[in-house]
Amino acid sequence: MATEISDMSRSEPLKAGVFGTNLEQAKEHNLRAVIDALRRHGALTRAEITRATALSVQTISNLVAELEQRGLLIAGEPQKAKRGQPAKPYFLNPEGGYSIGIQMDHQLVLAKLVNMAGVECLEIQKSISRPSPEEGLEIFAEMVEQLLAKTRVDSGKVFGVGIAIPGPYGISGPTGVGPGWVDFPIEQRLGEKIGLPVRVENDANAAAIAERLHGEGKKFDTFLYVFIGMGLGAGLFLNGQIYHGVRGAAGEIGHIIVEPEGRLCDCGNRGCLERYVSLCAAYEAIGETQEKHRSPEQLEKLLDQKDPAFMGWLTEAAEKLRRGIHALESIFDPEVIFIGGLLPPKITRALVDMLIPPLPSVVSQLKPQEERILLGISAPSAPAQGAASVPIFYEFNIERQSVSQAASQSLSRKVLGSS
């Protein structure tokens, strides 16, 4: 007897479960699965790709041939095997596609074009002074045009443009950039202007995506990337997917309270983590005002000189961050936590060394202490590198997508192509 389902009106929208795959989308999904396997493991033979993707031998043969024809895969020289005929390894063609990343704060825009392997082809920058949204659009469009013209890369081979913005973008707008940015539709307006897909992420999420694609993060499915910038944030990868939270504010770890009745924070609380672990906190410790901040690279000289004020900040930052990491491990149980951001690698390395050993937590018995916290991608241009990784990540992301993500993917099919 069939069960009758009533057609009652609902006061709440249905929540998405597991998304189905239409037959016409299966091929596109499988192409992404092959690319993902090669991205994570490096060169693989067809037999190895078959095992990695759980697809049939014939399907893999067809998919590899198509990707090779499109210029996304390159075949290597046949390798001798212990048994059977020599097999060709296949690897991603770095020149098979490109992406552009842009980072912006209130005084500087930095843009770079990278190839599919994340290797920088060109970087340009422009000084600004708290631009309006319309001024920002013109600047972004101009820089995209310059990158493509100077590198002679066809826009048809560009997956898209990623923009890294400080703060939880989409809630209050890019923080500290300039007036009028709150609720401004950057993705839509810039995409229409330049004819390429545009995606905006906060700087921590963008850097975490770069770590996932091109750094040690490709070895892990669940990890946290702690981004040390003017403030403090984190990018969260859970089961291979970047996690934004219900309101887009996931990873705002800078406002974890680590020192009750501590320093006053802009959020209104006291003792927030970013009041101790951030570039702002470092500048405050060495007595510099916001208007006279030296560059992050110049802070490296203070480390080399063992400047007492700077070393005092570094010691306190490690102490407070150790408490924050203990909380993060207890809540998320990640495979690993990366430390990165705007600091030069030498300073970040010194900070990571001071974090060892971390406080005992739920993962203490499961993982050696030195493997719980790792050095992540760290450089003053890390957000731009991360932003450039965003279009590539979403182009080849094979997990479930939202409707808006699927729409943006369709714009970039001129690169991947689908039939």
CB 249 within 8 A of CB 219: no
Confidence of residue 100 (pLDDT cuts 50, 70, 90): very high
Per-residue confidence band for 346, with pLDDT thresholds at 50, 70 and 90: very high
Structure tokens at 367: 């993982």
151 inside domain: yes
| Domain shared by 156 and 249, yes or no | no
- Check if the beta carbon of residue 229 is closer than 8 Å to that of residue 342: yes
- Asked whether residue 229 is assigned to any structural domain, the reply reads yes
Specify if 14 maps to a domain.
no
Q: Is the pLDDT of residue 308 over 50?
A: yes
Residues 365-404 have pLDDT tens digits of 666 666 889 999 888 888 899 999 999 998 887 664 433 3
Which carries the bigger pLDDT value, residue 380 or residue 333? 333
Chain centroid to CA 152: 26
CA 376 to chain centre: 11
Higher per-residue confidence, 24 vs 180: 180
Exposed, middle or buried, 403 (CB in 10 Å: 0-12/13-18/19+)?
exposed
At 127-160, the pLDDT tens digits run 888 888 899 899 999 999 999 999 999 999 999 9
Do 297 and 152 have their domain in common?
no
Q: Output the domain CATH number for residue 50.
A: 1.10.10.10
CATH number of the CATH domain containing 235:
3.30.420.40
Write down the pLDDT at residue 145: 96
Domain count for the chain: 3
Are residues 200 and 167 in contact, defined by beta-carbon separation less than 8 angstroms?
Answer: no
Q: Which helix (H) or strand (E) holds 341?
A: strand 336-341
Residues 237 and 366 in one domain: yes
Residues 347 and 206: their CA atoms lie apart, in Å, by: 21
58 falls within a domain: yes
Q: Is the confidence at residue 6, as pLDDT, over 50?
A: no
Is the residue at 1 inside a domain? no
pLDDT, position 28 = 82
Tell me the C-alpha distance between 10 and 19, whole Å: 21
- Do residues 98 and 114 make contact, with C-beta atoms less than 8 angstroms apart? yes
Q: Does residue 366 sit in the same domain as residue 236? A: yes
- Model confidence at 25, in pLDDT bands (50, 70, 90)? low
pLDDT band at residue 176 using 50, 70 and 90 as cut-offs: low
pLDDT at 290: 62
- What pLDDT score was predicted for residue 42? 85
Say whether both 44 and 102 belong to one domain: no
Same domain flag for 389 and 333:
no
Range of the domain at 39: 26-92
Residue 374, domain member (yes or no): yes
pLDDT at 405: 42
Give the start-end residues of each E strand in 38-192: 44-45, 73-75, 89-92, 98-104, 108-115, 120-127, 158-165
Q: Which residues contact 142 (CB under 8 A, 6 or more apart)?
A: none
pLDDT of 177: 64
Do residues 141 and 103 lie in contact, with contact meaning Cβ atoms separated by under 8 Å? no
With cut-offs at 50, 70 and 90, classify the pLDDT of residue 4.
very low
DSSP conformational letter for 93: -
pLDDT digit string, tens, across residues 197-218: 999 998 999 999 999 988 899 8
- Between CA 237 and CA 171, with CA 327 as vertex, the angle to 5 degrees is 55
Strands 108-115 and 98-104: antiparallel
Q: What is the mean pLDDT of the chain?
A: 84
For the chain, the distance separating the N- and C-terminal CA atoms, rounded to the nearest angstrom, is 41
Please write the tens of the pLDDT for every residue from 293-304. Answer: 667 778 899 999
Kindly report, residue by residue over 227-281, the tens digit of the pLDDT.
Answer: 999 899 999 999 989 999 988 889 999 999 999 999 999 889 999 999 999 999 9
Q: Report which of 228, 323, 235 is spatially closest to residue 282, judged by C-alpha positions.
A: 228
E strand or H helix at 147, and its extent?
helix 133-151
